[in-house]
Amino acid sequence: MSESNTPKAAPVLRESATFDRLTIQEIQRAAETGIYDIRGGGTKRKLPHFDDLLLLGASVSRYPLEGYREKCGTDVILGNRFAKKPIHLKIPVTIAGMSFGALSANAKEALGRGATIAGTSTTTGDGGMTPEERGQSQHLVYQYLPSRYGMNPDDLRKADAIEIVLGQGAKPGGGGMLLGMKVTERVAGMRTLPVGVDQRSACRHPDWTGPDDLAIKIAEIREITDWEKPIYVKIGASRPYYDVKLAVKAGADVIVLDGMQGGTAATQEVFIEHVGLPILCVIPQAVQALQEMGMHRKVQLIVSGGIRNGADVAKAMALGADAVAIGTAALIALGDNHPRLDEELKKLGSAAGFYDDWQNGRDPAGITTQDPELSKRLDPVEGGRRLANYLRVLVLEAQTMARACGKSHLHNLDPEDLVALTVESAAMARVPLAGTSWVPGSQY
Amino acid sequence: MKTIDLSKSTVRELNQALHDQVNNVQEREWVVTHSDGAHNLAVGVSEAVSIDIQGHAGYYCAGMNQKASVTVHGNVGVGCAENMMSGYVRVKGSASQAAGATAHGGLLVIEGDAGARCGISMKGIDIIVGGSIGHMSCFMGQAGRLVVCGDAGDALGDSLYETRIFVKGNVESLGSDCIAKEMRPEHIEELQALLNRAGFNEKASDFKRYGSARQLYNFKVDNASAY
Amino acid sequence: MCGIVGLYLKNPALESRLGELFEPMLEAMTDRGPDSAGFAIYGDEVGDGWVKLTLQATSEDYDFKALIAGVRSRLQLPLDWFQNASAIVLKIQADEAVVRAVLGELAPTVRIMSVGKSIEILKGMGLPKEISARFGLGSMKGSHIIGHTRMATESAVTMEGSHPFSTGADLCLVHNGSLSNHFRLRQELRREGIHFDTENDTEVAAGYLAWRLQQGDSLKTALDSSLEALDGFFTFAIGTRNGFAVIRDPIACKPAILAETDDYVAMASEYQALSSLPGIETAKVWEPVPATMYIWERESA
């Protein structure tokens, strides 16, 4: 037999699952720089999520609602436990806290415009309230963070609600982070920092630690605002069953729980990927805690972390949330990672659909940057229109599915409308595996 | 002059009455009796009124104060004058933890001692303590001046930004990036003015100055152990 | 998360008023701890060869009479007892181990809350006001007392989960804060023979101290070791036969105030709990520094 007639096949290369190319790249980067990798966004891993759940539509035993005339309500009231002026939103989708500093002023204005058109709220972030956002946002939630950058009573009184932040889903237990290239004169002025420093942020509040002292702090904020405004407590998902009970005992009007899919403007990659909980497992624990205290629907629950479409909204509400918040999705609606930016993103070492170096402040979309030339690219009016469009689609999608389940209000969706496709998602969401009555782990 | 007796009225009534003065000052002088360590006294005041608390106060006394002058004839709990923007708070006794936390302006004078974390994250307030202060004071201090006539506990000025710290007595230990600095004539002048404002009979030249070494302003791997 | 309070009388003339002085201190801590409350009171010492136990059943209707009859017939030793709500105080001229064995046999569901010469621990679910009323705190006499109001953090709200926790004869612990390494420590202490009833982090701290004291450490050495062994945030108040001690972790975020006059030393999480004490206006008031034990004890009789 002649060997020369058989072409030699190229050897098949086998990648290690443990030391894959990504891991090799990261170890070599660490060896070169001596600093942890910092990026924006939320966890990139695949996790049990809303995609693993399905809604059961109407059939013989359950009847659907017609569109248009047969209303499916979407409004929600937040903060009627103690506040004189609870917040009435037209839709149960709010814009999550994102700072001016992390985002450009134009981006904050666009969010305010879009939210107001849609009848919902936006939230300030670590760095304080800008006139642009207060000017545009019909309902503005003012964050009260460990750093207290920009915190002042005049803005407190101008806000419609106050959100005391213990943490966020991307980094429960971590503080804010803003690198020097984004600490411009305006940002530095608002935060009382020298221009260009890498902002170090505290991870604990300076004047209280623990729910017993949080109760006194909530009382203080309520006293300062004459009991008018709802007080939210935002927690990065970690031990939600206990956290929710303690927040209720401390006096929260609304609880915001953020899962690890939730984004951040900048933090250590390891923190994002290895600390936290998927939002799916958080909601049933939180709702159980509220129900045990007789507080479900009395202290409202807003959940966030990977909400992308109306199906996510409907499923989160079916599990018992009163509303959801979007962050990353809102930025994408404004134009983050748009395909037309692909060329420019390639110059930054990334590509459209992959860009997460928001900490560097060179975003060609003009959103996660402080550079004046780049910021100009985001037109706040156009951005607002795009966000309002996206919010409208979220709500229409959710209503369509709710009507198909026979619900005249999104709030009437409940866990019985759901089944799970995998054992993990069934256990986490506490709904049966499709085709069975089995809820794994229900005895725990 | 208006007297509010907290054995008969509530803290809510006190604070509402003070807030009702906004753009409509009916009373310039307020006296609060039977405070008994109650929390949240005179919080969120925003007119130039004077408030005399004749007893001890609990947490967050004069929190977020603007323009008002508050005197506490006793001790105060955690977070006295936290996030104050302007005005004057004087504590005749001692203060608990986090006195003047994150405050942007105004003057806080504590005649006795202050607990741990005095001036934590301060953003422009001037704090003058007649006695000593506890550990972790001026943690992440960003702006303003902290003056201590007694001693300071461990880790003074840890992670300091631009607050200037003056201590007359012993400093147990300095925090990350906080170093002793030269007292130049302009500092002596600055400090003497502060001491005079506080009404303390002290000589600025007896004090030492501490400030940020500014090595943590931009991350360098060699400083990693400081974190 | 919680409120803790303690009162140690230097002036014996006040001993008949201990409960009366302490009751408002406990109630002042209600907002910090609405779930359950408890206290450990010291006084009415038993003599040599005698031991005092506090036992608690799940309800006031428990047939303690029958239990005591059983103990009498088993042990044939002098004893004395009285009931207080769902608890009894049993004084008996016997060794602790002997009594425990008999009680374990006759009444396994009745919990032994405390053992010693002087200590009585009473605790339960409900508001501090309710606990005070239930046990008649206001009319109690004694030399010193520590108490606790509970806001449960990571474990259930149960009678067993309430503080004070007993750590050994005449010793008990109350805690404000949250320990972060209690899980591993509980497993290690179980291997050392320490028994736990709950998943509560404070019970682990109490168990750790009990273990160190059993190993021969003095209270000071045991508390100093605890600063290393226990991770997390804590203010502890420890009751001893002759007094009480206070210690805070090195970071010291959880509050603590001390007040001293010629008549007493008092401790609380917030000053307002001390404001009803006589002479508080002129008391020396200060905050304990971190990682340092403060102790007040009378000499043993």
Residue A196: count other Cβ atoms within 10 Å of its Cβ: 15
Residue A173: count other Cβ atoms within 10 Å of its Cβ: 14
The residues of C annotated as belonging to the active site are: 2
Asked whether the bond before C164 is cis by omega within 30 degrees of 0, the reply is yes
Token pair of A247 as six digits: 């927040």
Nearest to A341 by CA among A368, A303, A315: A368
Token pair of C56 as six digits: 């608690």
Contact A286, A304 (CB under 8 A): no
Instruction: Look at strands B208-212 and B164-167 and give their pairing.
Output: antiparallel
Strand order across the beta sheet in which C243-248 lies: C165-168, C171-179, C232-240, C243-248, C294-297
Q: How many angstroms separate the CA atoms of A217 and A233, rounded?
A: 11
Query: Does C51 share its domain with C171?
Result: no
Q: Return the pLDDT at A69.
A: 81
Query: For the segment A214-261, what is each residue's pLDDT rounded down to a tens digit?
Result: 999 999 999 999 999 999 999 999 999 999 999 999 999 999 999 999
Residues in chain C: 301
Strand ranges inside A20-119, DSSP E: 38-41, 53-55, 76-78, 87-89, 93-95
Token pair of C67 as six digits: 């239990």
Task: Provide, as residue numbers in chain B, all residues whose Cβ is less than 8 Å from the Cβ of C252.
Answer: 116, 135
The domain that holds C106 is classified in CATH as 3.30.70.100
Query: Does C19 share its domain with C51?
Result: no
Token pair of A272 as six digits: 């994002």
Contact B21, B44 (CB under 8 A): no
Query: Does C237 share its domain with C257?
Result: yes
Contact C178, C197 (CB under 8 A): no
Three-class DSSP category at C7: strand
Q: In the A/C pair of chains, how many CB contacts fall below 8 A? A: 36
Q: How many angstroms separate the CA atoms of C139 and A66, rounded?
A: 70
Q: Return the pLDDT at C101.
A: 93
Query: For the segment B44-67, what is each residue's pLDDT rounded down to a tens digit?
Result: 999 999 999 999 999 999 999 999
Residue B224 sits at the chain A interface (C-beta within 8 Å): yes
Q: Which of B94, B135, B136 sits opposite C285 (nearest CB)?
A: B94
Query: For the segment B106-143, what is each residue's pLDDT rounded down to a tens digit?
Result: 999 999 999 999 999 999 999 999 999 999 999 999 99
Task: Provide, as residue numbers in chain A, all residues whose Cβ is less than 8 Å from the Cβ of B79.
Answer: 207-208
| Single residue among C116, C145, C176 that ends a domain in this structure | C116
Total domain count, chain C: 2
Q: Quick check: B220 pLDDT over 80?
A: no
Residue C154 sits at the chain B interface (C-beta within 8 Å): no
Domain locations along chain B: 2-226
Report the b/e string of B118-134 with b at 16+ CB within 10 A: bbbbbbbbbbbbbbbbb
Q: Quick check: A360 pLDDT over 50?
A: yes
Q: Return the pLDDT at B64.
A: 98
The domain that holds C204 is classified in CATH as 3.60.20.10
Query: Does C271 share its domain with C291?
Result: yes
* Domain at A38-429, CATH homologous superfamily: Aldolase class I (3.20.20.70)
Q: Return the pLDDT at C298.
A: 83
Residues in chain B: 227
Q: Quick check: C1 pLDDT over 90?
A: no
Contact A439, A431 (CB under 8 A): yes
Report, at the CATH architecture level, how domain B2-226 is classified.
Answer: 3 Solenoid (2.160)
Query: Does C22 share its domain with C171?
Result: yes
Question: Searching chain C, which residue's CA lies closest to the CA of residue A251?
Answer: C31
Task: Provide, as residue numbers in chain C, all residues whose Cβ is less than 8 Å from the Cβ of A249.
Answer: 34, 151
The interface residues of chain B toward chain A in range 23-62, judged by CB-CB distance below 8 A, are 39-40, 43-44, 46, 58-60
Q: How many angstroms separate the CA atoms of C130 and C136, rounded?
A: 10
| Single residue among C95, C116, C137 that ends a domain in this structure | C116
Report the greatest alpha carbon distance in chain C.
55
Query: For the segment A84-138, what is each residue's pLDDT rounded down to a tens digit?
Result: 999 999 999 999 999 999 999 999 999 999 999 999 999 999 989 999 899 999 9
Residue B197: which H helix or E strand, with range? Answer: helix B185-198
Q: Grade residue C301 by pLDDT with cuts at 50, 70 and 90.
A: very low
Record: contact A212-C2, CB cut-off 8 A = yes
Query: Does C138 share its domain with C33?
Result: yes
Subunit partners of chain C (3 or more CB pairs within 8 A): A, B
The interface residues of chain A toward chain B in range 177-206, judged by CB-CB distance below 8 A, are 180, 192-194, 196-198, 200, 202, 206
Residue C146 sits at the chain B interface (C-beta within 8 Å): no
Q: Which residues contact C215 (CB under 8 A, 6 or more apart)?
A: none
CA distances from B178 to B86, B117, B160, B164, B226 (A): 27, 15, 6, 10, 11
Task: Provide, as residue numbers in chain C, all residues whose Cβ is less than 8 Å from the Cβ of B78.
Answer: 255
CA angle (B103 as vertex; B97, B109 as ends), nearest 5: 65
Instruction: Look at strands A93-95 and A323-326 and give their pairing.
Output: parallel
Three-class DSSP category at A198: coil
Nearest Cα of chain B lies from the Cα of C81 at a distance, in angstroms, of 40
Residue A209 sits at the chain C interface (C-beta within 8 Å): yes
What's this model's pTM, rounded to 2 decimal places? 0.94
Query: What residue numbers bound the domain in which C207 lies?
Result: 2-45+124-297
How many helices (H) and strands (E) chain C has is answered by 7, 16
Subunit partners of chain B (3 or more CB pairs within 8 A): A, C
Q: Quick check: C130 pLDDT over 50?
A: yes
Q: Quick check: C162 pLDDT over 90?
A: no
Q: Which of B36, B116, B135 sits opposite C275 (nearest CB)?
A: B36
Token pair of B215 as six digits: 């090595």
Task: Provide, as residue numbers in chain A, all residues whose Cβ is less than 8 Å from the Cβ of C255.
Answer: 213
Q: Quick check: A6 pLDDT over 90?
A: no
Record: contact C271-B134, CB cut-off 8 A = no
Residue A281: count other Cβ atoms within 10 Å of its Cβ: 20
Residue B77 sits at the chain C interface (C-beta within 8 Å): yes
Q: How many angstroms separate the CA atoms of A192 and B161, rounded?
A: 10
Q: Quick check: C281 pLDDT over 90?
A: no
CA distances from C183 to A264, C144, C177, C188 (A): 31, 32, 16, 9
Query: Does C217 share its domain with C132?
Result: yes
Q: Return the pLDDT at A67.
A: 84
Q: Quick check: B226 pLDDT over 90?
A: no
Contact A286, A315 (CB under 8 A): no
Query: What is chain C's mean pLDDT, rounded?
Result: 92
Residue C252 sits at the chain B interface (C-beta within 8 Å): yes
Query: For the segment A65-85, what is each residue's pLDDT rounded down to a tens digit?
Result: 998 788 999 999 999 999 999
Distance of CA C261 to the CA centre of its chain: 23
Query: For the segment C226-257, what is each residue's pLDDT rounded down to a tens digit?
Result: 999 999 999 999 999 999 999 999 999 999 99
Q: Quick check: A422 pLDDT over 70?
A: yes
Q: At what angle do helices C18-28 and C128-135 cross, to 10 degrees?
A: 160
Residue A208 sits at the chain B interface (C-beta within 8 Å): yes
Mean pLDDT on C259-282:
94
Residues in chain A: 444
Token pair of A228 as six digits: 């008018």
Token pair of A82 as six digits: 């103690």
Record: contact B117-A194, CB cut-off 8 A = no
Q: Which of B36, B39, B115 sits opposite C287 (nearest CB)?
A: B115
Could you report the predicted ipTM of this complex, rounded to two decimals?
0.96
Nearest Cα of chain C lies from the Cα of B94 at a distance, in angstroms, of 8
Domain locations along chain A: 38-429
Q: Grade residue B177 by pLDDT with cuts at 50, 70 and 90.
A: very high
Nearest to B136 by CA among B113, B153, B112, B160: B153
CA angle (C227 as vertex; C241, C159 as ends), nearest 5: 55
| Single residue among C75, C98, C116 that ends a domain in this structure | C116
Contact B124, B177 (CB under 8 A): no
